[in-house]
Amino acid sequence: MKQTRVIAVANQKGGVGKTTTVVNLAAALARMRKTVLVIDLDPQANATSGLGLRPTPGTSLYSALTGQAFIGDIIQGTPLENVNIIPSELDLSGAELEIARQENHLLVVRELLKPVLTADVFDYILIDCPPSLGILMTSSLAAANGVVVAMQCEYYAMEGLKVITDVVQRLHDNGVNPDIHVEGILMTMYDGRTNLSEDVVREVRKHFGKLVYKTVIPRNIRISEAPSFGQPVVVYDPSSKGAQAYVALAREFAARAARS
Ligand code: ADP
Ligand code: MG
């Protein structure tokens, strides 16, 4: 029996490595024989195309939100064994309004996922959150067991981190999701040639200690090339520094998730 864990990868800022992390963590976990469902909740559909699918109207979570489709019917396979997806497409940009219209809107995503959790076929559900503090993100957090915060190694990253940890704390404290916690903080786009990257990592570790993953994702050209081939970097160039970092992250992530 599996115990599906729902992990949201979030940060209200765009361009910090959320989608890259979802796509590569999914691919690397799948290679460890874990079964993974990726839910692409960004209307820009970068996780969808990054996993080799073309965004197609009527295939996203939006159709389940509006009751046009059953959640089980919108789960698709991907070119990668053990990686499944609920893709995104432009319709999903209507999801914020649709959820807001519904009663108990914070619980809408959790309710939708219930049959998937009951079926217990996935080890992990990884949610790629949109880059905003909207209803789609908060209701994803309300449905998650844990949150991985992706953070670029740059100035002001800490301030953004406080915003999201506050949201997590609020969802926890007001009883919407007593289970929710920050599963881990992932430092991305580390540039070993600058002191800045090193300073930011040191600063974040000072404040958040062990919550910060040991694995740091380097800035790596192969990572940025891979999406145009519709592949995670761990498939596109497994020997690259970027791929190796995501493989290491998957091990660390799985070990930590097993303990919490
Ligand atoms: P988000 O989902 O937070 O908006 P993305 O994962 O889409 O961020 O990353 C933003 C851009 O940066 C993308 O073009 C991606 O390919 C690139 N990128 C992400 N991580 C790295 C990295 N470690 N090294 C180089 N480029 C990266
Ligand atoms: Mg993204």
CA-nearest residue for atom 26, ligand 1, is 224
Contact 10, 18 (CB under 8 A): yes
Read off the pLDDT band of 159 (50, 70, 90). confident
Ligand 2 centre distance from Cα of residue 41 (Å)? 9
d(CA 137, CA 183): 16
Atom in ligand 1 nearest the alpha carbon of residue 226: 16
Structure token digits, residue 236:
């596109």
Mean pLDDT on 206-234 = 97
What is the pLDDT, as a whole number, of residue 34? 97
The candidate with the shortest Cα–Cα distance to 25, out of 46, 41, 4, 9, is 9
Asked whether residue 2 carries a pLDDT value surpassing 80, the answer given is: no
Average pLDDT, the chain: 95
* C-alpha radius of gyration, the chain, whole number: 17
User: How many angstroms separate the alpha carbon of residue 1 from the centre of ligand 2?
Assistant: 32
The number of the ligand nearest the C-alpha atom of 224 reads 1
Nearest to 78, CA basis, from 226, 232, 251: 232
Rounded to whole angstroms, the Cα distance separating 220 from 243 reads 9
The C-alpha atoms of residue 181 and residue 65 are separated, in whole angstroms, by 25
Supply the pLDDT for residue 160. 86
Work out which ligand 1 atom sits closest to the CA atom of 11: 3
Find the 82 Cα to ligand 2 centroid distance in Å.
Answer: 22
Of 224, 225, 241, 244, best ligand 1 pocket probe by most atoms within 8 Å of the beta carbon: 224
User: In the predicted model, what is the mean pLDDT of residues 120-132?
Assistant: 96
Nearest CA to ligand 1 atom 9: 17
In this prediction, residue 158 carries a pLDDT of 85
Other Cβ atoms closer than 10 A to 20? 27
pTM for the whole structure:
0.97
Distance 183 CA to ligand 1 centre (A): 21
Give the integer Cα–Cα distance in Å for 97 and 110: 17
Whether pLDDT at 46 is above 70: yes
Query: For residue 180, how many C-alpha atoms fall within 13 Å in the half-sphere facing its CB?
Result: 27
Of 42, 64, 174, 168, nearest to 108 by C-alpha is 64
Contact 82, 30 (CB under 8 A): yes
In angstroms, what is the span from residue 15 Cα to ligand 1's centroid?
6
The answer to whether 125 touches 4, Cβ cutoff 8 Å, is yes
Of ligand 1's listed atoms, the one at least distance from the Cα of 150 is 3
The answer on pLDDT for 60 being more than 90 is yes
Lowest mean pLDDT of 7-11, 54-58, 97-101, 211-215, name the range.
Answer: 97-101
Distance CA 192, CA 173 (A): 39
pLDDT at 258 over 60: yes
What are the Cα distances from residue 206, in Å, to 11, 182, 197, 212? 20, 16, 14, 10
Give the ligand at the shortest distance from the Cα of 245.
Answer: 1
Question: What average pLDDT does the segment 246-259 reach?
Answer: 94
Q: How many helices (H) and strands (E) does the chain have?
A: 11, 7
CA 43 to centroid of ligand 1, rounded, Å: 16
Residues with CB under 6 A from ligand 1: 14-20, 46, 131, 188-189, 217, 219-220, 223-224, 227, 242
